[in-house]
Amino acid sequence: MSWADRISPAVRSIPPSGIRRFFDIAAEMKGVISLGVGEPDFITPWHIRESCVYGLERGYTSYTANHGLLELREEIAKTTDRDYNVRYEPNREILITVGVSEALDLALRAVLSPGDEALVPEPCYVSYKACVTLAGGVPVPVPTVMENQFRVTVEQLEQLVTPRTKVLLIGYPNNPTGAIMPREELLRIAGFAKKHDLIVISDEIYANLTYDAEHTCFASLPEMRDRTILLNGFSKAYAMTGWRIGYAMGNADFIAAMTKIHQYTMLCAPITAQVAAVEALRHGQDTMKKMVAEYDCRRRLMLDGLCNMGLSCFEPKGAFYIFPSIKNTGLKSLEFAEELLKAEKVALVPGDAFGESGQGYIRCSYATSMANLNKALERIGRFIDKRLNR
């Protein structure tokens, strides 16, 4: 038996991330404009970095409690109450994690038994289905469509729910589509979750990044607080991807179960990042709002630019992605991305990296400068003109 054959079947069954695979090619080329990465182009605001430097000066170099610094849990509780009117008890209902990535993994591992199904609206963040599989569960994709603004409906969910369904995993504002869910529609989803007694894992990492729209926190809906594991973090809103800091909130039983795994596998999130996260919540609102305003300008530029070149575009209302259809070019998503990269040196992500229902779309991230976006639009326009013989 080869070494490769000895790798666990679950690990073998998941594909490598469609984003990473594509970017390895782009990284080797010169002069590429990347609209590929889902990462703010801003450096973490100085006052946040400075708080970390002070923390190091004061000797904060140890482990923290498994749950994370109490100070941070208290700030998170206050912020969540202020923004969404949902109350969590810092000692029992909040866990600080290594990014939302770890929180997602812990949540799934804490609740899924082998063979349990998780409904996952698609297109979705690349980790969702892989993490369900690694937790022993079975991801059940629920395709959403541009015609319905990439919003999942109860009718679709009803068709796919089975007695094995245990989890509904949602992520709004959505990566990669930029879709949000209005409160009335989430209320219907909540009714569905209650009817089938599902646990809802709600990844709200882009909650602060909405444009002309208000974010509704799933746990704030009537009777949803205790059946929801709410995930959030600092990577996107505070431009803190490299700090690796996120958190999960939920009823004490869920959080205790997740903490049990976390204490053996991770011990705790890095103390330096936790100290910085306290500062982000206490004094980072204004700088965060400025970054959001800048994303909004870029969003408009991209929307106008892509529509003007004849691509059919859904207006994103959140996150920092736009997800136009490229079906009129006759190319598949991967072909489009590869040919564009070769011909015009613009890197973006083929839509099917986010699930089969992303076929025929591309994801462009506008977390890059206006200058880069203008150049990229010019190049994409030229590519499409040639392709359509215009």
Chain residues that interact with ligand PLP, rule: CB under 6 A: 38, 99-101, 125, 171, 175, 203, 205, 233, 235, 241, 246
Closest by Cα among 108, 143, 128, 219 to 175: 128
- The identity of residue 138, as a single letter, is V
Least spacing, CB of residue 308 vs ligand PLP, in Å? 28
Decide whether 101 or 165 has the Cβ nearer to ligand PLP: 101
Q: Give the whole-angstrom CA distance, residue 237 versus residue 205.
A: 8
HSE-CB of 249 using CA atoms within 13 angstroms: 29
Least spacing, CB of residue 343 vs ligand PLP, in Å? 27
Pull the structure tokens for residue 81. 């109450």
Decide whether 269 or 380 has the Cβ nearer to ligand PLP: 269
CA distances from 163 to 141, 196, 355, 385 (A): 16, 9, 24, 50
Q: Give the CB-nearest residue to ligand PLP.
A: 99
Within the chain, what is the greatest distance between any pair of CA atoms?
A: 64
Decide whether 288 or 309 has the Cβ nearer to ligand PLP: 288
Least spacing, CB of residue 46 vs ligand PLP, in Å? 21
Least spacing, CB of residue 34 vs ligand PLP, in Å? 15
Q: Give the whole-angstrom CA distance, residue 379 versus residue 341.
A: 10
Buried b (16+ CB within 10 A) or exposed e, 150-180: bbbbbebbeeebeeebbbbbbbbbbbbbbbb
C-beta of residue 118 within 8 angstroms of C-beta of residue 140? yes
Least spacing, CB of residue 244 vs ligand PLP, in Å? 7
Decide whether 125 or 150 has the Cβ nearer to ligand PLP: 125
Decide whether 19 or 140 has the Cβ nearer to ligand PLP: 19
3-class DSSP state of 28: coil
Decide whether 19 or 384 has the Cβ nearer to ligand PLP: 19
C-beta of residue 274 within 8 angstroms of C-beta of residue 72? yes
Least spacing, CB of residue 377 vs ligand PLP, in Å? 23
Determine the Cα angle at 224 with ends 221 and 227, to 5°: 160
Q: Give the whole-angstrom CA distance, residue 106 versus residue 317.
A: 29
Least spacing, CB of residue 319 vs ligand PLP, in Å? 7
Q: Give the whole-angstrom CA distance, residue 122 versus residue 176.
A: 9
Decide whether 170 or 380 has the Cβ nearer to ligand PLP: 170
Decide whether 179 or 309 has the Cβ nearer to ligand PLP: 179
C-beta of residue 50 within 8 angstroms of C-beta of residue 266? no
Least spacing, CB of residue 245 vs ligand PLP, in Å? 7
Decide whether 88 or 320 has the Cβ nearer to ligand PLP: 320
With left for phi above 0 and alpha for psi between -120 and 50, is residue 305 left, alpha or beta? alpha
- The identity of residue 57, as a single letter, is E
Least spacing, CB of residue 120 vs ligand PLP, in Å? 12
Pull the structure tokens for residue 362. 């591309």
